[in-house]
Amino acid sequence: MAPALKEQSVTARSTNTGEGSGAQDPHRDIPEATVARLPVYLRALTSLAERNIVSCSSEELATAAGVNSAKLRKDLSYLGSYGTRGVGYDVDYLSYQIAREIGVTHDWPVIIVGIGNLGQALANFSGFSSRGFRTVALLDAAAPMQGRTVAGLEVRPFADLAEIVAAEQVSIGVISVPATAAQDVADAMVAAGISSILNFAPAVLNVPPGVDVRKVDLSIELQILAYHESRKAAEADETVDNGSEEGITA
Amino acid sequence: MAPALKEQSVTARSTNTGEGSGAQDPHRDIPEATVARLPVYLRALTSLAERNIVSCSSEELATAAGVNSAKLRKDLSYLGSYGTRGVGYDVDYLSYQIAREIGVTHDWPVIIVGIGNLGQALANFSGFSSRGFRTVALLDAAAPMQGRTVAGLEVRPFADLAEIVAAEQVSIGVISVPATAAQDVADAMVAAGISSILNFAPAVLNVPPGVDVRKVDLSIELQILAYHESRKAAEADETVDNGSEEGITA
DNA sequence: CTATGTGAAGGGGTTCACAGCC
DNA sequence: GGCTGTGAACCCCTTCACATAG
């Protein structure tokens, strides 16, 4: 599972017109936890489609997505009733509905700032360019990188950021620079008009309200694993120490 | 209090062995959400220490970590009382206590399987080798990669996995192979004795109970951003449409 | 008087179990 | 009969507010 999914925006504009009646809201608000799983369902559906499966039950889709079926059905219920009782879901139809809800029926232009080892890997990552995103520019502040071609794109100077964002209507930026430079890059991105940032630098970013930041942090993930690994080791020791403790031994 | 003993599963799978008995002392159980933030606090503390700050309040540390102070204090309270009322926290002391709780007072050996663009970036990532982890081997199934040196380590055949894991006592593995190969790699890792996996492949992994899997998925993160970005656009349109904000439209 | 540590209240998310429809 | 869609119970996490200690 992805890291804790708190963190996201402050955009929290209460769109709640609410007052008075139960009038249908313009946009249902989907729980954040559900939003984080929709892409997983979409991928599972794509995988089923590739195997020429046209229809599936909530149980099957849930298994493919790695969740339980109750959760899957509850999640899908926030989008609407796209299944057929007693039958299941049409793979293509549900795929489209989820893609539409996420907003990836058309491609989003994305820029990557920081073309070091990680930035190059991201630029080459096919998943980027396939599922709803198109890398339109690579930027780096270091002169040696500039002008080189990575993944078919020329690396351009960081100073061109604002110009590119405006020209290509970019609203999503990826930061893969060292931690010390991350805040400056974020500031420049926000100033240029970007309102969603995916941050790979191990640094806390300060951004104004209305800008979303998601963080991917390798060493944090490893440390979380280490914590549980430590406990496993401790438990094993304990079990050896006082062999019993558990009644089921019989 | 001794809440349910139910071992929660951290990540996707891993229904831990329901260790019975209500022994509470051995290891207090720290909420998963808190565990996920401890590494963030540790990094913030390290950052403070580098600036020669020896003491800090919960407010200062919380700001550095990007959370609010109430949450920080609550989190730290699960570890014990390591602060001084009316004063704050000693940076070095608290750092050590958190590192000890996470289990990163000594380095964990890690192997990386799949030395493509991403694998090479991970191997070169200094954060890996600094904060409690040491990359001991790089493996790849493709002959052309084998024997090459990446980040000072020779790339070895995937077939050597079990041997290396045993020799180096590896319990944490990183998967950076294409999605189609990920499950096979995971199976081999588990068979070799690895019990924690960090998965970069866009695939759902099935692992037996007791094995932890954490997933880092680039396109999922982007899609979550896209969802919010779509809504921002929709809201902006709306605002333009019916210029009035609230209006009961009498 | 200051800032930590913590019961208690409040909100979300997951799970259950069944009503509703095919 | 089977499977979806969903209210309700349950549980965890966050936030508040203050007792507590220096």
Does B69 touch chain A if contact means CB atoms closer than 8 Å? no
CA B22 to C1' D9, in angstroms, rounded, equals: 25
Counting residues of chain A whose pLDDT is more than 70, the rounded percentage is: 85
Q: Do A38 and B231 touch (CB under 8 A)?
A: no
Tens digit of each residue's pLDDT (9 = 90 or more) over A46-94: 999 999 999 999 999 999 999 999 999 999 999 999 999 999 999 999 9
Q: Among all strands, which nt has the closest C1' to B80 (CA)?
A: C5
pLDDT above 80 (res A15): no
The strand order across the sheet containing A55-56 reads A55-56, A88-90, A83-84
Q: Can you give the pLDDT at residue B106?
A: 94
Distance CA B161, CA B220 (A): 29
Indicate the range of B60-64, B74-78, B240-244 predicted with least confidence: B240-244
Confidence label for A28 from pLDDT (cuts 50, 70 and 90): confident
Mutate to test the interface with B, among A11, A219, A239, A242 (most CBs of B within 10 A): A219
Distance CA B134, CA B132 (A): 7
Counting residues of chain B whose pLDDT is more than 90, the rounded percentage is: 78
Confidence label for A20 from pLDDT (cuts 50, 70 and 90): very low
Distance CA A158, CA B149 (A): 31
Does B87 touch chain A if contact means CB atoms closer than 8 Å? no
Residue-wise burial string across A195-209, b where 16 or more C-beta atoms lie within 10 A, e elsewhere: bbbbbbbbbbbebee
Q: Which residues 157-216 in chain B show a CB within 8 A of chain A?
A: 171-172, 195-198, 202, 204-205, 210, 212, 214-216
Residue whose tokens read 């080798």: B129
Q: Do B27 and A234 touch (CB under 8 A)?
A: yes
Q: Can you give the pLDDT at residue B131?
A: 79
Tens digit of each residue's pLDDT (9 = 90 or more) over A101-141: 999 999 999 999 999 999 999 999 987 777 799 999 999 99
pLDDT above 80 (res B127): no
Residues of chain A with Cβ-Cβ distance to B195 below 8 Å are 229, 232
Distance CA B65, CA A220 (A): 13
The answer to whether residues B68 and A195 touch, using CB atoms and an 8 Å cutoff, is: no
CA B69 to C1' D15, in angstroms, rounded, equals: 10
Q: Do B121 and A120 touch (CB under 8 A)?
A: yes
What does residue A83 show for φ and ψ, rounded to 5 degrees? -105, 180
Pick from B157, B123, B120, B161: which is nearest to B140 by CA?
A: B157
Q: Do A219 and B130 touch (CB under 8 A)?
A: yes
Does A65 touch chain B if contact means CB atoms closer than 8 Å? yes
Tens digit of each residue's pLDDT (9 = 90 or more) over A196-226: 999 999 999 999 999 999 999 999 999 999 9
What is the pairing mode between strands B172-175 and B108-113?
A: parallel
The answer to whether residues B182 and B119 touch, using CB atoms and an 8 Å cutoff, is: no
Tens digit of each residue's pLDDT (9 = 90 or more) over A109-118: 999 999 999 9
CA A55 to C1' C20, in angstroms, rounded, equals: 21
pLDDT above 70 (res B25): no
Confidence label for A26 from pLDDT (cuts 50, 70 and 90): very low
Average pLDDT, chain B: 87
Protein residue closest to D4, using CA and C1': A85
Could you tell me the pTM of the whole model? 0.88
